[in-house]
Structure 1
């Protein structure tokens, strides 16, 4: 069955490129069980994870403030930054509709979760939808898409160096929210941005207002508690969250030992693009950040609730066959992924301006 699914279009895949099957066949043959695609209308399962994560966030903050010593603070920053990232993933599920089948509940929960960590819910939700709809497409993808050689050469030397020199790429997310990526214009906060259509502008305004309210609350708390205390309790964990987000999202689309293709034109398809994503194992962190490492099946079927992603991945493996790449196991912490990140930053710089199946090339000046 797998061989039929993977040649459903009748087209032979190009060497080292992925096939062009119909995504419906993958669903029919592996994921047709209703539980995979139907989160509870009440969001009860997802809300239990929200309650868990929020309790941990406030518990960590209370403990750190109470103990207040420089042995505890670095541990708190690492733990709380990770928990902010976990909250982001739950808000991300709201945007996909995998949190609940109730649209209003998704919107309310998503705004609370994302605004609390300074993410404009609808603005990011819409651009992230664009990412999923165009994953693996050189020009149309939205998140960590490759630069064409022309755009790469047009970058000034400082920007080019910062983009590929760690840790700066791992701090990119807030700047991406304000001005997107090189070669693309617009802002996640501006309802008139070309990221959005007219019918989405009210949603974007709502999210920008919520973001502004959270920013104002943080400013007020800074006056009440003092800037140093707010930096320790919120500021440093926020940047820890940003680093988690950039680290994870980058490595789900880069850093494999085998170069992965990117597509244009008629060579792109939804499943072909989805198969360029990578699963990653994060050891103890897997459960904390809601199994976001099961990224291939999430990209093919983003409506699957996070608590079914592992099961759905196992069900899809026999159908995907050789086109599924097992992640390297990580235990207890994913330190090995730092090596993948460093290697990719040294080698994956741009793709050709022409061609419908392209691969990353290396600028020797950045190695």
Structure 2
């Protein structure tokens, strides 16, 4: 067994709150709900693919295909949540079933199961820790680091944090190109997982070329993965980059506080909550990562401390775009625009 390191390997020990044990009951997988999620997600996704193939072959206007691709992209986001749960070993009770489902959905979302599972586990163990940034998170510099950086590094950072890049070609490059290679610190099984996933994706391309045609495949797959990857990047961004977020140096880093205050409660309209697999309840997910997505809302409703967390609304989340740097003096995220008004460190 290779458990995901949900807790840091070292650092200050923190007592869990009295209500924490009550969250355990929500962490039990439910085979019926898991099976239904596979049906209500995979079947419509396959149906949309079949319909778009017919539309392209019949010469229908391409904008109609693109309209369906947006819907399919939403379903692919939901498929990624199923993949994500499998990586945590929470979707099914069976480890083997999670691995199999994770590998299959990993092919659909262009992400290797074992490699992403390890990297994402590292994210859970280090997010909000200023001394252990860099794995599975959005590149974030402190004000002091930015001021001390070279002009070249400042330009690279501003370019990366530009919304047109971060939520445009950036996610597409991540899923289609960067995910084809093992991440830093990959083990042998992670590298094998990446290789097998890449070979499976290549097999899909070859099969498409022999059946529906490579052109038809790309006209459908590219807009779907663009929609899904950009939406996914936005979700990941607002989960840990928002006003009032908690970050700390390692000696002061509190795992429970960072779960409650360093992860957003992104309250979305019900239809978007469905497409995103309840991942907006991200504070609940980080409090106990083994809770499957289909139990997150129940847990939030059943634990007053979780329900009391200030939610981030869809409109309010747009303000997160202006947050670019962590100001250690004021313990908050600030924008590039306000950088000149901040005092220089002595």
- TM-score tier by shorter-chain length is 0.7 to 0.9
Q: Distance in 2 between matches of 1:222 and 1:65?
A: 13
Check if 1:349 corresponds to 2:324.
yes
Distance 1:138 1:82, change over 3 A: same
The range that moved more, 132-141 or 246-255, is 132-141
Distance 1:194 1:72, change over 3 A: closer
How do residues 1-367 of structure 1 correspond to structure 2 at under 5 angstroms? 22-23=15-16, 25-28=18-21, 30-32=22-24, 34=25, 36-40=26-30, 43-67=31-55, 68-141=60-133, 142=135, 143-144=137-138, 146-149=140-143, 152=146, 153-154=149-150, 155-156=152-153, 158-170=155-167, 171-173=169-171, 175-176=173-174, 189-190=181-182, 194-196=184-186, 200-222=187-209, 224-256=211-243, 259-275=244-260, 276-283=262-269, 284-316=271-303, 318-319=304-305, 324-328=309-313, 334=314, 336=315, 340-341=317-318, 343-346=319-322, 348-352=323-327, 358-364=331-337
Provide Cα deviations, 1:133-179, integer angstroms capped at 9, x if missing partner: 22211232431252234654345455233222222101434555799
CA positional deviation for 1:75: 1.4
CA positional deviation for 1:114: 1.1
Distance 1:366 1:162, change over 3 A: farther
Maintained 8 Å contact 2:300/2:306: no
Question: TM-score, normalization: structure 1?
Answer: 0.76
Maintained 8 Å contact 1:139/1:264: yes
Q: Distance in 2 between matches of 1:25 and 1:145?
A: 34
SS at match of 1:107: helix
SS at match of 2:82: helix
**How many pairs were matched up?**
316
Distance 1:177 1:350, change over 3 A: farther
SS at match of 1:262: coil
CA positional deviation for 1:227: 4.3
2:8: which partner in 1? none
Distance 1:188 1:219, change over 3 A: closer
Maintained 8 Å contact 2:171/2:229: yes
Unpaired runs of 5+ in structure 1?
Answer: 1-19, 181-186, 329-333
Unpaired runs of 5+ in structure 2?
Answer: 1-12, 341-346
SS at match of 1:351: strand
Provide Cα deviations, 1:205-240, integer angstroms capped at 9, x if missing partner: 124322332134225524654444222211110111
The range that moved more, 227-236 or 239-248, is 227-236
Maintained 8 Å contact 1:85/1:244: yes
Tell me which protein shows more helix as a share of its residues: 2
Q: Distance in 1 between matches of 2:23 and 2:184?
A: 35
Maintained 8 Å contact 2:29/2:93: yes
SS at match of 2:131: coil
Q: Distance in 2 between matches of 1:326 and 1:158?
A: 33
